[in-house]
Amino acid sequence: MSGPEKQAREWRIGVAGLGVVGCGLIKWLLERPDFAPNGDRVRLVGVTARDRDKARGIDLSGVQWFDHPVELAASPDIDLFVELIGGSEGVARAAVTAALKTGKPVVTANKALIAAHGLELASLAERHGVSLQFEAAVMGGTPAVKLLREGLVGDDVGSIAGILNGTCNFILTEMERTERPFATVLAEAQRLGYAEADPTTDVGGFDAAHKIVVLAALAFGGAPNFAAAEIQGIDQVELIDIRLARDLGFRIKLIAEASGSSKGATVRVAPALVPLTHPLAQAGGALNALFLEGQRVGRLYLQGAGAGAGPTAAAVAADIADVIGCGRRPVFGRPAATLQPLPMLERGQKIDKAFLRVMVRDEPGTIAAISEALAKAGVSIDSFLQRSVEDSGHVPIVLITHPATETAIADAVEHIAALPAVIERPRAIRVARI
Ligand SMILES: NC(=O)c1ccc[n+]([C@@H]2O[C@H](COP(=O)([O-])OP(=O)(O)OC[C@H]3O[C@@H](n4cnc5c(N)ncnc54)[C@H](OP(=O)(O)O)[C@@H]3O)[C@@H](O)[C@H]2O)c1
């Protein structure tokens, strides 16, 4: 017998900060107020930012405007406070403090705040019996915080090394790719919106330091200690270093690393040479990446978007879902009573590219016949390769198809197998969508 059905609850949300992340989150909350796995709903009831009149492309009708973030945070009309203003001091800190002191759970994307005042805020949250969540503070939408805080609690993490600042990664990648110096690429990154007008926080390594300090605290079980982090940015990296490092088989990346244990740790951000074959060397452009080593789980690698409205707001929403579900999620993400077996796609609905190897006798007209057989099945060719004749007098013809249904590929195989020049059943292997 199942227990009594839980009544769905409505959570009144207040969002402070209507910039890139704030607007991204609000779009999601308005579109999907029922996204929380436990069936509870969310309702945006209050917002605040600096400029009430700024056009933001979101519908805030019916949502109360607050002139000050602290007012919103302390309001009895909200159940959950989301801080998306930024900065370690000032209004963001005051508002988060006010929300926790009035017994409200807080979700924030603010790495500077957590790195600088994480311990004080954690104590406050515990004293008031509410949660403080900050998944989006590190690696945007890539769940590094959850991995450390939840996924790896059964292990001792010994070291973490990552590319945690997309701006620096973009600049270093472009310097190498286009052989242009730091200042030129930085100016381009500013034009493209990858770098701020004042780029110090990013290129000076401070942003990556905020993030690695937070990860180190989670990994080694200590308080965030930003003051102790060694920090060096990328502004001293010259093109000649990038070229020479590459000649030696390395790529220069801004590496944020932490190693140690609960007894002590080193936390450092600095440019470093990474072997070209290492996954961290492969993460180019504005990507973020993280390499972790646990005593028992061994090496783990995580890579993804470290910023942007969509990914970051997704991480904030995941934290909201955690608060709403009190950290207890239904076993398969939705209440068991609502679950059905997943419908599986049929062959006619599954669309992939395929690799086809056809062994043929070396006769004229064979390729045209194969093309015709493919066309009959509705399959077109993406790329094509013909090897030289083998000793047996047979020739492998290899082709990659454009995306087609499994049924169409199977038909194509049948048509090709029936051709007189084909000496064995063609081999079809799906091209993985990765
Ligand atoms: N952008 C990303 O991809 C990303 C990724 C990960 C984490 N984060 C973190 O997310 C947070 C928000 O970043 P963002 O990129 O969304 O910033 P943003 O676009 O600059 O937006 C900041 C918002 O805060 C408001 N604000 C600033 N000072 C205020 C004050 N004194 N009182 C009230 N509101 C104030 C601004 O108001 P106005 O609009 O009226 O000026 C703006 O709406 C930061 O902690 C950031 O580090 C961002």
Tens digits of residue pLDDT in 359-394: 999 889 999 999 999 999 999 999 998 887 777 778
Atom of ligand 1 nearest to the CA of 22: 16
Q: Which of 389, 386, 183, 165 is nearest to 288 (CA)?
A: 165
**CATH class of segment(s) 10-138+331-338:** alpha beta
> How confident is residue 3, by pLDDT bands cut at 50, 70 and 90?
very low
Average pLDDT over residues 90-114: 97
Establish whether residue 19 lines the binding site of ligand 1, counting it when its CB lies within 6 angstroms of any ligand atom: yes
Nearest atom of ligand 1 to the alpha carbon of 49: 34
| DSSP assignments along 48-92, one per residue | E-S-TT---SS--TTPEE-SSHHHHHH-TT-SEEEE-S--SSHHH
CATH 3.30.70.260 domain residues, the chain: 351-430
Question: Exactly one of 146, 211, 253, 376 is catalytic; which is it?
Answer: 211
How do residues 43-66 score in pLDDT, each as one tens digit? 999 999 999 999 999 999 999 999
**Pick from 13, 119, 132, 105: which is nearest to 64 by CA?**
13
Query: Where are the CATH 3.30.360.10 domain residues in the chain?
Result: 144-305
Residue nearest atom 23 in ligand 1 by C-alpha distance: 17
| Whole-number pLDDT of residue 156 | 92
Mean pLDDT of the chain: 93
Global pTM reads 0.88
The number of residues in the chain equals 434
Best mutation site among 53, 70, 84, 96 for ligand 1 pocket (most ligand atoms within 8 Å of CB): 84
- Residue 211 annotated as catalytic: yes
At position 77, the amino acid (one-letter code) is: D
Q: Is 303 in the pocket of ligand 1 (CB under 6 A)?
A: no
Q: What is the pLDDT of residues 109-149, one digit of tens each?
A: 999 999 999 999 999 999 999 999 999 999 999 999 999 99
Which ranges in the chain are annotated with CATH 3.40.50.720?
10-138+331-338
Top-level CATH class of 351-430?
alpha beta
How far away, in angstroms, is 129 Cα from ligand 1 center?
Answer: 27
For residue 22, report the distance from its CA to the centre of ligand 1, in Å. Answer: 7
Is the CB of residue 18 below 6 angstroms from any atom belonging to ligand 1? yes
Q: Does domain 144-305 have CATH number 3.30.360.10?
A: yes
- Ligand 1 atom index nearest CA of 52: 40
Q: For ligand 1, is residue 69 a contact (CB within 6 Å)? A: yes
Nearest-atom index, ligand 1, CA of 315? 6
**Residue closest to 92 by CA, chosen among 75, 73, 77, 105:** 73
List CB contacts of 185: < 8 A, sequence separation 6 or more. 171, 174, 175, 178
Q: What percent of the chain has pLDDT over 70?
A: 98
**Coil, strand or helix at 139:** coil
List helix spans (H) across 326-365: none
Smallest CA separation from ligand 1 atom 15, residue:
20
Is the pLDDT at 103 greater than 50? The verdict is yes
Split at pLDDT 50, 70, 90, the class of 275 is very high
CA-CA-CA-CA torsion sign (95, 21, 27, 62): positive
